[in-house]
Amino acid sequence: MNDKQFEDAFTAAGGWFIVSQYDTITKSRLDQKKLLQKLFKKKFDSKIEGTRTRLSSFNRIWRAGRIKEALKKIRDSKRINRVHPEAKSIAEDILTILGVNSKKSVDGDWKPTVKSLDEPKQKVIIKGNQKKLSNDNNFDQLKKEFGDWLDEYDVLSTQNSIASYKSYVNQLRNGYNEVFGVGKFETIVSVYQSKSENDILKFYTKIVHFIKKQKRIQKKKWTDIGSGFYQFDDFLRDKFDCDDLESGKISEITYKKIEPVTKKTKPENIPEKESKVVSGDISEEFTQKELMRTFKSRLKTQSRYYPNIDMLFPARLINDIFHKNKDNAFDTWMQNGLANMRVLSKNATFLFSFVRKICLLQNKRIIVVLNDGYKFELYTYKGDGKTRVPLRTLDKRDISVDHIISLAKKMQQNKNSLPAFKEMTEKFHEYEKLSKVSLNPRADRTWKDNLLQKYSKLNSAKMRSAIMDDLKRMNLQYILMDQRENSKKGKN
């Protein structure tokens, strides 16, 4: 390939396509036809012929051994980085993996055909005092897993958004390491692997404070980086099973009867006069869309097992069944459930669908702004399920989604009328016996793919319909609550 042919291929593929789809193409096990279909769905082109040209051009650049040159061109292009600010960071990440500016190259042996995902990961050689990272400790691999997680759980709607969030995490890593020392951010892996809530909270809080400090200098940039880190935190908690999933007991503590929802926010419609809305400097604010995205990702990963009734609630497995079949019924069900979630003021109860944004003040108070502009301080029930108190925090993670009637109690009440959940539980036990390995029923992240491969019936439209019937039968309802009070309340 001469220089003109290289330039033609680069132009035909497009710099943003090359850098944003590099991992998708080079690490795919799919044949070219299926890979083309997958890339076309990412909507780079209105017609599949355009995507075919892009993929063919990428392959030509790769075969000619000029992919590093293409990535350097993207890294240094002012035009590409003006349109896609994250392109430079992604290109630099890939070039690091490919051994650019390092004595050892780790190009790998990818060809534009089928590649096995079971091949051992190459080691990444880092200059200076950083340790060699490989497999799960490889931060670049971790970022790829983060992107896959965002896609799998529909946290973000487009590949461009996913690439941006991966870039935000990388920018955070670079900024954090510049201040605290090379390799300090990477210790996040061992911290979350430890599953020590105290250690995780300490590290998490340190990063959040660092982000807030940087926002005073570059607000827009570090607001985006903060959004990326919040999702990265959710991903790490899911990957390393940090959240407490041991949910076998049925809590005897439930909420008192929830008051009727206040449908209008004019003063005369409020049951009692609200206390004057407190003022203060805003630490952070989150739109309803951002909160909905966060809450949905939490619901999709909150898998449960209740041994007293031998019943699974495999949230990750259910999400996969619908996601892989491009069926949005489960996602819509969650969206509707969260839209009807109760949000408390001192004396009234509103729906989450009324909320425009939630503001965390520096004095730890929280202000809810409704769609019509009405404002009030956010309250939560205490662990007794009866007493309302102001929710005070500077951390979004303390704002929790809770079941008004516990999931455990709902499943016990309906245990003889949940055929889909019964079948999923039976298939799990059957698979466990066949595999001759003891499996953690709560950790469906570790066995769901093999289960779906073994029992294809679980992917059927009939099964998806049965799951939706079971979910509707349980009539799950939610309320916004302080995570710390939720922990006191018991399992949900």
Q: How does residue 171 score in pLDDT terms, banded at 50, 70 and 90? A: very high
Interatomic CA distance for residues 449 and 313, integer angstroms: 16
Ramachandran area for residue 185 (φ above 0: left; ψ -120 to 50: alpha; else beta) = alpha
Q: How does residue 287 score in pLDDT terms, banded at 50, 70 and 90? A: very high
* Alpha-carbon distance values, 425 to 224, 406, 471, 476 (Å): 40, 20, 15, 20
Q: How does residue 100 score in pLDDT terms, banded at 50, 70 and 90? A: low
Using alpha carbons, select from 36, 34, 28, 73 the residue that is nearest to residue 53.
36
* DSSP tally for the chain: helices H, then strands E: 21, 12
State the alpha helices, DSSP H only, in 181-257. 188-193, 197-215, 219-239
**The Cα angle at residue 457 between residues 453 and 460, in degrees rounded to 5:** 110
The arithmetic mean of pLDDT across residues 398-425, rounded, is 92
| pLDDT of the residue at 64 | 85
Model pLDDT for residues 192-225, shown as the tens digit of each residue: 888 787 888 889 888 988 998 888 888 888 888 9
State the CB neighbour count (10 A cutoff) for residue 111. Answer: 11
| pLDDT of the residue at 337 | 95
In this model, does residue 43 exceed pLDDT 80? yes
331's tokens: 């996602």
Model pLDDT for residues 322-352, shown as the tens digit of each residue: 998 989 999 999 999 999 999 999 989 999 9
State the alpha helices, DSSP H only, in 116-158. 139-152
Classify 326 as helix, strand or coil. Answer: coil
Report domain extents, the chain: 1-93, 123-240, 267-489
- Rounded to 5 degrees, φ, ψ at 282 are -80, 125
* 229, 207 Cβ separation under 8 angstroms: yes
Mean pLDDT of the chain: 81
| pLDDT of the residue at 241 | 73
Q: Which of 180-194, 276-290, 427-441, 454-468 has the highest mean pLDDT?
A: 454-468
Model pLDDT for residues 431-489, shown as the tens digit of each residue: 999 988 888 888 888 899 999 999 999 999 999 999 999 999 999 999 998 877 765 55
